[in-house]
Structure 1
């Protein structure tokens, strides 16, 4: 008889009681093992590996033991998965559908020892789907109850757990003051009033060797004892818990805990924070806002956040807004959380190029209002036909950005989702009775040009005309050297010795003096293709002498 390999999987939503010698996971495993043993005559045998997920919700499949089990399923090392109840495997109907598809592909079934059903029949699947629907409903109702309980408890001023703020320690359902830490909190508030700047407060604390308090979390892990960051100081200065309040979803309630900061000091600090924030918003950064902030996602639906980096450089094509602050250029990006934290994999897209590409694509559609209205499923009344034919619709960049609901970045394209209602308002058309959307598609991809990551369109040219300073200098040098050689007074070897370069390098650069005039104009204007880099032109296969070939290779045109 062919042996049937059975893997036992157990799960518990909370970690309460898991420290006991015989806990819920042990009870589930024992019941499953007894069931497998009862089927020994059918060749069933339990695998020795233990797959326990303690303290993990059934609302997600991202559980370590379950993922290890599924890896063995994919490898063909399991025939049956045995669980105590089906909701131990998952409480989500959507996740269950994915699991069944994956198990079917591996010819693996699963058994619940307390619920009798057969997943190989349509009736069995229907019964299981109904069972899982109730399990998912139970999970969602439980979550609602927990949220309601937290809201009601906070309305009564209770502390509902988590890491207590600096200056406090947990005391049942409230907080007690830790005086040494509380004194440090008051000192931070007072220093901020004196210095008026969070960065200066952080620098002053670092000079005085004042660090965050060392603490132990609920799991016994030590943390703290490091330098104060600006983010920590901002969070401390704006935390209403120091005024004796408990905050929940924007509402504030009188807390059961004592205040550390008196009302007068609190109001002064909040007024100063608001004043600095207002000045920050009206400063140089407001001249180059991230138009698509909160609207960009990657192909998997993960949001990309607006971020920036500031470097002291002098490059051709830097705008006045970028160079504000004395020779410092501000580079804006849209990045995934992984890239923002320095992890991999992650996506980092130049913001100016993405915004230019998206704005240009929508402006292209606005040139044909009827086509755009059709894509947004809008009706055009007869009396608006002539008006739309005669109007020149040229809204500002900000007005165009307000049309956008989402920008989805794929590997070789960008999908722009625009609001039908916003388009109707811009075109002066009746608002749609139901929400509609217009989907605009454009070809684009990320590529590396030298050390710079660029966003290029379907023709391979940059979405934003930004001249490459190094490339411009190289073409200028090629023409200067060719002018020297044309005089007939020097040969290439002598000129290379005078310029302090290798003769082979000089000859490779000289080839750029014979580029087509429109190719050179495109380089000077920043409209060249992604392949037109210093490295490619001097170390690559060389420049084709035919101008048409140069246009195709370097500016994507014939």
Structure 2
């Protein structure tokens, strides 16, 4: 008699009672084990592996034990899944459809020991759908009741649990101030009012050796003791709990806990945060082409922004104005630069210059008094942030133009503009412009021209997701073939792909470690894509030849 391998899956929505010696998961497993034993005459055999999800909702498939179970199903290790009730598997009709599809693909079925139905009959599937509909309905009604109770409690100034924000600790249905932590919160608000930038606040905290206090959450897990991130600081600065209020969704209610921050200070910080965000959004919307009006060819012919659309995706370029408008003789040398790439290069070059304020000021011929060194440093850092955010007005105040040469970019800066941005005096006795040369060259790729280092490496490291996906797939398939249990034809049939395709992808596992690292880091030679990678891998397994084909000149 054929052995039918059975796996039991159990789940409980809450973690209440799971610490007991015999809990709900144990009860479910015991009932399922008895059912499997009753079918021993049919060849049913219980697998020893446990698939138990405690304290996890049935409204999602992202459960560790369930994902492990699905993995074993895909590997063909399970014939029947046994559950106590169907809703233990899922409480979502959509998720159930996905599970059934996965089960059918692996010839796996499932059984509910307390609900008798046959899914092979015309009445069985509607019966199952009705059971799941009521299970989903029950979950959604329960969730609504909990949400309504939380909303009503918060409207009555009550703290409804969870990890309290830094500066407070739970005190029944309220919050009590933790003195040391509250002082840190006040310091963060004061720093933001003074510096006006969350990134500068984070850097100043790191510079002063201040990190997040160590705390323990409700489940006894320790956290903290690390540097403040910008995300954490934004959350602290926007949290109305610090001003004595209780938030719930888009509403805020008066709280019955003591405030750490005065309401006036908290309101001022919200206005400051809103102004920064609004300014960023307006600039991005109004200036999709950051370098419009700045890019020129060596002869003075400007490059203008254009775009094209393909498959509902928008691609931006900067092209030679004369060739675009047909005022010049058609030429293969007409420039067509990918906008994202040239904009990223200019941002990086300016950030590099602004990272060394003293050298920048000196090269611009600006006299600097020692007393304003700190002001210049902070101003250059803020200017660098503004440029990275795409604030066109500040960029154009700093740059006169950008000259695109075949072997370099010339950034023509305005010393007077820099003085005005940093507010460090009058623009007297300074040159009209200063040229900073960026050591990149142009290389043609199809109709477009790309920017690369002299060794052929792309100027902007940009890992190809398609190539990485093929690399991972190739290593996985090669590992399967190396076991000796499957040949190419059987593995291709299991993976539902052509044997020739599987062979070509599996050869990527033979790439050298140096080439593999370059693909993962996006540092291959310009022009290398998934198609050319497969061709090179098929042509040679010699690491030196692979390096010649994949890597920039200096690293091969």
**Residue pair 2:443, 2:450 contacting (<8 A) in 1 also:** no
Q: Does 1:6 align with 2:6?
A: yes
Contact 1:471 1:533 in 2 (8 A): no
In 1, the alpha carbon distance for the partners of 2:139 and 2:181 equals 40
RMSD: 4.3
Deviation at 1:471, TM superposition (A): 10
Distance 1:69 1:243, change over 3 A: same
Name the structure 2 match of 1:29.
29
| 1:31–1:84 contact (8 Å) kept in structure 2 | yes
Q: Is the 8 A contact 2:168 2:175 kept in 1?
A: yes
Offset of 1:28 from its aligned partner? 0.2
Aligned to 2:349: 312
- Aligned-partner Cα distance in 2 for 1:452–1:32: 68
Provide closer, same or farther for how the CA distance between residues 234 and 122 of structure 1 changes in structure 2, counting only shifts above 3 A.
Answer: same
1:169 is aligned to 2:169:
yes
Indicate conservation of the 8 Å contact 1:9/1:82, yes or no: yes
Match of 2:63 in 1: 63
Which residue in 1 is equivalent to 2:81?
81
CA distance in 1: counterparts of 2:391 and 2:196, whole angstroms: 28
Correspondence for 2:192:
192
Q: Which residue matches 1:111? A: 111
Contact 1:311 1:329 in 2 (8 A): no
Q: CA deviation at 1:275?
A: 4.4
Q: Tell me how far 1:252 sits from its aligned partner.
A: 0.7
Distance (Å, rounded) in 1 between the aligned partners of 2:200 and 2:391:
28
What pairs up with 1:234-253 in 2 under 5 angstroms? 234-253=234-253
Distance 1:123 1:250 in 2: 46
Q: 1:46 to 1:260 in 2, by over 3 A?
A: same
Unaligned runs of 5+ in 1: 299-305, 331-449, 475-531, 542-558
For 1:149 and 1:329, the matched residues in 2 are separated by 61
Q: Could you say which residue in structure 2 is the equivalent of 1:152?
A: 152
Deviation, 1:320, is 10
- Contact 2:280 2:391 survives alignment (8 Å): no
State the secondary structure of the residue aligned to 1:311.
helix
| 1:328-347 CA distance string (max 9 Å, x none) | 999xxxxxxxxxxxxxxxxx
User: TM-score, normalising length from structure 2?
Assistant: 0.53
The equivalent residue for 1:420 is none
1:513-553 per-position Cα deviation (integer Å, ceiling 9, x unaligned): xxxxxxxxxxxxxxxxxxx96999xxxx9xxxxxxxxxxxx
Distance 2:192 2:391 in 1: 32
**Counterpart in 1 of 2:50?**
50
- Match of 1:77, SS state, is coil
Trace 1:127-526 onto structure 2 (pairs within 5 A): 127-280=127-280, 287-288=287-288, 310-312=347-349, 321=392, 324=396, 326=398, 461-462=447-448, 467-468=449-450
1:288-327 alpha-carbon deviations (Å, 9 max, x no partner):
389x9xxx999xxxxxxx9x9641169xxxx994955757
Provide TM-score, normalisation by structure 1: 0.53
Q: Give, in whole Å, the separation in 2 of the partners of 1:329 and 1:129.
A: 66
Instruction: Count the aligned residue pairs.
Output: 340
The 1:60/1:279 distance shift into structure 2, 3 A limit, reads closer
**Partner SS, residue 265 of structure 2:** helix
- Rounded Cα–Cα distance in structure 1 between residues aligned with 2:123 and 2:227: 62
Please tell me whether the aligned partners of residues 59 and 90 of structure 2 are also in contact (alpha carbons under 8 angstroms).
yes
**CA pair 470-96 structure 1, distance change in 2 beyond 3 A:** closer
Equivalent residue number for residue 96 of structure 2: 96
The whole-number CA distance in structure 2 between the counterparts of 1:98 and 1:58 is 14
Equivalent residues of 1:471, 1:534 under 8 A apart? no
Structure 2 residue matching 1:9: 3-state secondary structure: strand
Q: Is the 8 A contact 2:284 2:391 kept in 1?
A: no
Give 1:196 shift: 3.6
Taking a change above 3 Å as real, the CA distance of residues 134 and 452 of structure 1, as seen in their structure-2 partners, is: farther
Unaligned stretches of 5+ in structure 2? 291-306, 314-339, 352-389, 403-439, 457-524, 530-534, 536-556
Deviation digits for residues 427-468 of structure 1, max 9, x if unmatched?
Answer: xxxxxxxxxxxxxxxxxxxxxxx99999x9xxx645xxxx44
Rounded to whole Å, the distance in 2 between the matches of 1:246 and 1:132 is 37
Indicate the residue corresponding to 1:387 in structure 2: none
How has the CA–CA distance of structure 1 residues 473 and 6 changed in structure 2, closer, same or farther, with 3 Å as cutoff? closer
The answer to whether the 8 A contact 1:181-1:213 is kept is yes
Single out whichever of 57-66 and 31-40 deviates more from structure 2: 57-66
**Aligned position for 2:126:** 126
Q: Equivalents in 2 of 1:215, 1:61: separation in Å?
A: 31
* Separation of aligned partners in 2, 1:66 and 1:451: 52
2:443 touches 2:452 (CA, 8 Å); kept in 1?
no
Distance of aligned partners of 1:185 and 1:128 in 2 relative to their CA distance in 1, 3 Å threshold: same
Please give the secondary structure, in 1, of the residue aligned with 2:123: helix
Change (3 A) 1:272 1:107: closer
